[in-house]
Every structure is written in structure tokens, then in C-alpha cells.
Structure 1
Amino acid sequence: MKTLVKPILGLLVILTIIEAQDKLPSSSEVKEYDKIFEKIAERRSGADSIMIDKLENPFIILSSEQNASESNATAQAPAYVLEAIFNQKAKINGNWYKKNDLVGSYMLIKITYNSVILQNEIEKKRTCNKDKR
């Protein structure tokens, strides 16, 4: 029995080695993969700034949308945002005004501690300072 074990084990080792060699990739397969990796490693250049500047806008602007936005803009009155009040001056939309100054089509007629009153020939507006406390 011991005499049969050694030749059988030797035969199994030889068959395993032969099977493993069949599973290894051939040199032509390795060369193909090397070519693929070389192509991947090549430096690719994208579009330069001149080419990008020449591109046209890919978005289509419909004229009906433009007309609708223009009509909405004319219908809305400008919003006046009171940002601050200091020393009888009011900061409205980023600009400082004092009493009797013109703010758009309105005149600043009164400044209180937390609001201003704007008036024109048609209407009177009170704009309050939004307290951030």
C-alpha cells in the first residue's frame, strides 16, 4: 500500500502543475493587456479655452418665455428693503437716505426707530426694519 501512495501523489502533483500551466495566460494575452494599459496611460488632452469660447449655448431660449418675464418685470413694483437706521438716516436697498430724499419714485418723509415712510403722489408705504433677534 505504501508503494502505491508515492506514485499516486507524484502523479497528482504533475497533473496539478500541468493544469495550472493551462490556466496561466499566454504571452500573446499578456501583450494584448500591455497594449491596453499603454493606451490608458497615454496623456489625453481636453478642449482648450479657445475651443470652449467658440461653443454655442446648448440651451434654447423660447421667445414666449422672454416676453412673459419682461411683462412680469414691468408689472412688479420695486421692493424697498430697509436694512438699517442710524442718526436719522436709513439704509434702503444698500443706499443711505435722509428725510426728504428721493428713493426711486418715492420721497422719504419720516424715519422712526424701526421703520420709514415713503410717499409719492399715489400712495404711501411703510417699510419696517426686520429685527434679527
Structure 2
Amino acid sequence: MSRSLTLLCMLLFCIATYAQRITVSGKVTAGGEGLPGVTVAVKGSTNGTITSMDGDYSLQTEPQNTLVFSFIGYETQEVPINGQKTINIEMHESSIAIDEVVIAVPYGTAKKSTFTGSASVIDNLISATLLSSHDTTVFLRFS
């Protein structure tokens, strides 16, 4: 009887230790300012969250997992948790080739390589004028 009880206690302790979840939190910044809307996901799972307006996040996961931080226009970063409860990340802008730029226009999108018309950049504001039967100007803001 005592042997069975000891074995049961050891088994329950092992299961509780293995299945332990921790809350990981932190702040995602770019240029020293909080970055809202960054996707923070556990690699290889559907568990994830999005940063708040101040760039803060909080997520429950196992301590041996890896977090993946991604946001449009920034390099995706993978950070092993290694039992840490606070992980702060500085996102870095990604450099893309001009041929990869997609311009959003009314009723669809146009790749730079197939875009007919004019596009200009004025203080982080892109003005795109399409050549068609109706001239259309679209303004896109990049922050």
C-alpha cells in the first residue's frame, strides 16, 4: 500500500512539473516607442496574442517554448523563452526590394513591376495615380 501511494505521489509530481505553464509578458518597441498590433505567437502552435496600444503583451505558455514576433514592415524575430517571465523586444525595419512593393489601389492591388501610372512619396505619404479611363489618386500612409 505505501509503495503504491509513493508511486502515485511521484507520478503526480512529475505530471505537475512537466505541464507547468508560465505567464510571459513584456513590451515590443521600435525606435524606443511601444509598437501596437505586433503578433506574438508560440512557435508551432495556435497560441498567441497581439500587443496593446503601448506595445505590451502577456501570454501563457510552457517555459521551453519559443515566441515569434511579427509585424508588417519589420523583421520577424524568434526568441526562446528558457523560463524567462519577461521578454522585451526591439523590432527592426525590414529592407525589401522595390520589386516586392505592392501598391493598394481601389478595386485591387498592383505590383510595382506591373504598375502603370505614377507614384510618388511625400513625407511618408505615397500618392499613386493610375492611368485608366478614370484618373484615380490613392494616398497610403506608412508609419
TM-score, normalised relative to structure 1: 0.23
Name whichever structure is richer in strand by fraction.
2
Higher relative contact order (CA 8 A, sep 6+): 2
Give the greater-gyration-radius structure (CA): 1
TM-score normalized by structure 2? 0.22
